[in-house]
Amino acid sequence: MLVRYQLPLCAAVLVFSLPVWAAKKVDLDYHITLLPQSDQAQVRLTLEQGTAVRSLDLDLGEQGQFSDFSADGQWSTAAARTGNALRGVWKPASGKATLTYRVHIDRHAPDPLNGKPRYASRMTADWALFRGEDLVPRARLDQQDGIRLQTRMTVDLPSGWKNVETSWPRIGKNRFRIDDVSRLFDRPNGWMLAGNLINRRARLGETDVTVSAPKGQGMRRMETLTLLTFVWPRLQAVFPRTPDKLLVVGASESMARNAGAAHDSIYLNANRPLISESGASPLLRELVQVFGRIQVRDRSDWIRAGVAEYYSVELLRRAGGMTQDRFEDWQSILTRLGRKVTTLRAEHVDPGMTARAAMLLSALDQEIRQQTRDQKSLDDVIQGLVRMGKVSTEDFVQLAAGVIGEPSKVLATSLLQ
């Protein structure tokens, strides 16, 4: 996100050295109204003080996804530089300023099993399942110096709908605080579920966990919560970050059959097994994504995908949920899936590359244990990795060398060239 600072250097240093509490706080409120009769949500952004923001440049995606814009101040749209996407720029009026628009909720994605379209997000007469990113698009925020936006979200439910669940802290009835320290522009990202829901809740470590699904969707709420409880101590031993809240949502009716992680939240298709016949777990794979929050650069997506695949089974094995022979069977399956892979360097990896990346990490773990006489393991590399920003393959190789005490022979492979 871009903010223009035009202060002299000495003044800029003073501004940046000010603690967060010293910045002037300006309220930014999201008001979401769900409209199942039209498969839409109405979104209203309200700035307590419009002059706090010079402009908000929104990525509107393909034409028709967002519509019916109304703004206090100046609003303009234009084609993006590439593709068929649109951009919208809001320059708020002074005083209290509002931007209102509508967005369609239903979205389709190809089924990973047969390629046929299924719902990636959906609104029915009784419930809606979607991501906050669907409601508020990515944006570039240009705000005044010394301003801190204080963001909240309120959701208005249709008549008869009981509740709404998000991964953000609840501060009132259907009201949440949005505070993402990794972004300048706070928006309600992560999975959201509203309607007539059944919830199961637990406190695992320092995290409030909710497993939620609409009535009649066949979600295995208690089984999901039990599996999370079973592996949680092992998960915490590897990953230093602990979210305050974790939301697991699910549905089955024409929904995508895969699993997906977003901000401190996970989507599962209610009809899919929690642990597959191979021993891998879609739930645990996405849980590793949530805890790790690994970001990559320079065609290094193999790191993110490989860590999720490897630890989804390794954590289950450490917790006593998989015998050694079953673990070796899983390794054999990955070896077959990845046997034709010649490189792991790509912006986005496919299943074969993911399998090969997981096997590479398994071999690296063995190398580290042998070289350090079981004093260290792959866990030490991961703990350094998740504390970094965007990482590259070169960063990963250097981290491993630092743990081993010398360059890794396992990582000196043409797969990473």
Q: What is the DSSP string of 136-176?
A: S--EEEEE-TTEEEEEEEEEEPPTT--EEE-SSPEEETTEE
- Main-chain dihedrals φ then ψ at residue 204, nearest 5 degrees: -110, 115
- pLDDT score for 172: 94
For 20-82, where are the alpha helices, taking DSSP H only?
A: none
Burial class (CB in 10 A: 0-12, 13-18, 19+), 359: buried
- pLDDT score for 21: 53
CA distance 305 to 286: 10
CATH architecture type of domain 294-416? Orthogonal Bundle (1.10)
- Name the fold adopted by 28-104+130-190: Immunoglobulin-like (2.60.40)
Structure tokens at 154: 């309120």
> Taking a C-beta distance cutoff of 8 angstroms, is the pair 168, 176 a contact?
yes
CA distance 351 to 258: 13
- pLDDT score for 117: 83
- pLDDT score for 85: 81
Pairing of strands 24-35, 40-47: antiparallel
Query: Coil, strand, or helix at residue 120?
Result: strand
Torsion angle (degrees, nearest 10) of CA 107, 112, 113, 114: 60
- pLDDT score for 81: 72
Strands (E), 279-400: none
Domain with CATH 1.10.390 in the chain: 294-416
CA R_g for the chain? 23
Say what percent of the chain tops pLDDT 70.
94
Say what percent of the chain tops pLDDT 90.
84
Domain with CATH 2.60.40.3650 in the chain: 28-104+130-190
pTM confidence score: 0.90
The helix (H) or strand (E) run that includes residue 310 is helix 301-318
CA distance 319 to 310: 14
Q: Which ranges of the chain have pLDDT less than 70?
A: 1-22, 82-83, 112-114
